């Protein structure tokens, strides 16, 4: 076996994933989100783009079957619905949203302490493929979100699965940004 092959076969660590994610300055990623909602007879499938800019800008643009935009910029959350109606709130006014947003921010900043302060975490990896399971510690948040499972390869998130306490579930698959494979 050539020198370095044993190293290549080792699984990536949680700290390394966090370090790699923290190094990402900006990304625009096409996504497909499948929402399994109890009151619907079939899943709702959304298409769009996720945009991230360090340190704290995150935008989810839904382009099909409806147009909708969810923007997080600093501590302001703005939703533009399919009719073009715009609503902006401060994260201070929505503690549950703030906690969920905080998890994504902590992950993208590589802040393990913040993640583990608010969530029970379980990390597993095989080579460069990894999975992070988050379960809220706060009772109030756990009444809304049962778990979030984030899958990735190296410094790229490939899937986010969110299970709500009521049984509804969302699976967002993120495509590789332009110029990156697989």
Residues 31 and 58: their CA atoms lie apart, in Å, by 14
- Cβ neighbours of residue 40 under 8 Å, at least 6 residues apart? none
Q: Which helix (H) or strand (E) holds 156?
A: strand 156-164
* Helical residues (DSSP H) of the chain, grouped into ranges: 5-9, 14-22, 95-109, 112-118, 139-142
Residues 14 and 125: their CA atoms lie apart, in Å, by 8
Which of 8-12, 60-64, 105-109 has the highest mean predicted lDDT (pLDDT)? 60-64
Residue 179: pLDDT band (50, 70, 90) is low
pTM above the 0.85 mark?
yes
Q: What is the mean pLDDT of residues 107-116?
A: 93
Q: Do the Cβ atoms of 115 and 102 come closer than 8 Å? A: no
Q: Which residue has the higher pLDDT, 47 or 180?
A: 47
Residue spans of beta strands (DSSP E) within 13-153: 26-36, 44-53, 57-64, 68-73, 76-80, 86-90, 119-126, 129-136, 145-153
pLDDT number for residue 178: 64
Q: Does domain 11-174 have CATH number 2.50.20.10?
A: yes
Residues 12 and 40: their CA atoms lie apart, in Å, by 39
Q: Do the Cβ atoms of 168 and 35 come closer than 8 Å? A: yes
Residue 7: pLDDT band (50, 70, 90) is very low
């Amino acid at each position: 076996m050539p020198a370095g092959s044993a190293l290549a076969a080792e699984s990536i660590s949680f700290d390394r994933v966090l370090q790699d994610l923290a190094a990402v300055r900006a990304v625009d990623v096409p996504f497909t989100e499948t929402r399994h909602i109890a009151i619907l007879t079939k899943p709702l499938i959304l298409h769009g783009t996720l945009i991230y800019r360090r340190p704290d800008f995150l935008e989810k643009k839904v382009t099909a079957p409806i147009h909708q935009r969810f923007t997080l910029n600093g501590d302001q959350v703005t939703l533009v619905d399919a009719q073009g109606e715009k609503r902006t709130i401060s994260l201070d006014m929505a503690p549950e949203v703030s906690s969920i947003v905080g998890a994504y921010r902590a992950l993208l900043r590589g802040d393990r302490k913040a993640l583990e302060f608010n969530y029970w975490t379980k990390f597993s990896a095989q080579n460069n493929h990894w999975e992070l399971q988050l379960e809220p510690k706060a009772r109030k948040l756990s009444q809304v979100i049962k778990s979030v499972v984030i899958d990735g390869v190296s410094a790229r998130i490939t899937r986010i699965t969110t299970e709500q306490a009521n049984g509804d579930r969302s699976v967002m698959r993120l495509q590789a940004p332009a110029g990156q494979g697989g």
